Amino acid sequence: MSRATRTVIIGSRVGLHARPASLFVQAVAATGHTVIITTASGDTADGASILSVLGLGVAHGTSIELSVEGDDADTVADQLTAMLASDLDAS
C-alpha cells in the first residue's frame, strides 16, 4: 500500500461546504482509499465523512494538505487535488 501527500488551495467559492463537500466525500468513498485532510492549524478530517469535512470549516482560498493511502495513491491524490482546486459549486 502506498501513501501520497498533496497541498491544495480550495477553489470552490463557498469552500468545502454543502455541495462541494458532498461531491468530494462521494469521490473519496468511490476510491476506497483512506483520505485525511489537514488544515494549516493542524485540524484533521476523514475525507469520507461529510460531517468531519464540514466540521473543518474550510473556506475558499484556504490551503490544506491531502493525505491518501492505498493502492495507486499518487493517481488518486492527483485526481482529488484537481477536484478540490476547481470550483465544485459552479454548474
Domain ranges of the chain: 2-85
Annotation says 33 is catalytic: no
Can you give 40-53 as a three-state secondary structure string?
Answer: CCCCEEECCCHHHH
Instruction: Please pick, among 14, 17, 22, 36, the residue that the annotation labels catalytic.
Output: 17
pLDDT above 70 covers a percentage of the chain that reads 99
CA angle, 73 then 3 then 66, to 5°: 80
- Enter the CATH code of domain 2-85: 3.30.1340.10
Q: Of 62, 61, 70, 1, which is closest to residue 36 (Cα–Cα)?
A: 70
Count Cβ atoms below 10 Å from residue 45 Cβ, excluding itself.
Answer: 23
Radius of gyration of the chain (CA): 12
Unique residue bearing C-alpha cell 459549486: 89
At 64, is the pLDDT very low, low, confident or very high (cuts 50, 70, 90)? very high
Residue 10: band (very low, low, confident or very high) from pLDDT cuts 50, 70, 90: very high
